[in-house]
Amino acid sequence: MPRPIARVVAALSCALLLTSCAEVGDVVSGDRTRYVVSGASMEPTIPAGTRVWGSRVDEGFSPARGQVVVYAPPAAWGPIAEALAHRVIGLPGETVMCCASDGSLVLDGQPLVEGYLAEQEDCNGPMVSLCRDDWSVTVPEGHVFLMGDNRAYAADSSDQICPPAAGEARCAEHANDPFVPISSIIAVLDP
């Protein structure tokens, strides 16, 4: 049986979701939902306007690295959208760091090979503070670290990391709160 939050989000018809998000669509076969990706943050993997299918997850779901998931963003992220779609990068207990000399992410000390990324003009790192390359986070139990494939246009976990000396007002509100509770994951998009 789907978690209550998944049922609420799945019941919303045509709720516009921003950035790397989808419109919630028709539920088919009880556990599958159609989404329309409306933003650029998952390009080139999922171009804006593409219809995709996802399977809703049940309580006890264990995400896998590389899965593209639909989730309810944490309230601390502000009014971004009702749901977002991003790729699982870091799992509980793992350390994600930006970046290796080639701009790739580092996962537990090893460069992460991500052949699905959109090419970026300046770097292939996250959009946090214009591609800062000096952050490291360890994912707490019960959470994941999620990122879009088009890093320059993704309001994802990396966008929620505030540099220690940043003076942005946004940083005071949700400083260093980049993690998404696994319980907030609504669906896994079909590959």
What gap in Å lies between CA 17 and CA 21, rounded to an integer?
Answer: 5
Is the model's pTM score more than 0.85? no
**pLDDT value at residue 27:** 52
Which residue type does 167 have?
G
Cβ atoms within 10 Å of 32's Cβ, excluding its own = 15
**pLDDT value at residue 191:** 78
Q: What is the pLDDT of residues 91-119, one digit of tens each?
A: 999 999 988 887 788 999 999 988 888 77
Arithmetic mean of pLDDT, 82-91: 93
121: confidence class by pLDDT, cuts 50, 70, 90: low
Residue 139 contacts residue 91 (beta carbons within 8 Å) = yes
Worst-scoring range by mean pLDDT, 43-57, 110-124, 169-183?
Answer: 169-183
For the chain, state the CA radius of gyration. 16
Higher pLDDT, 147 or 159: 147
> Which SS3 state, helix, strand or coil, does residue 125 take?
coil
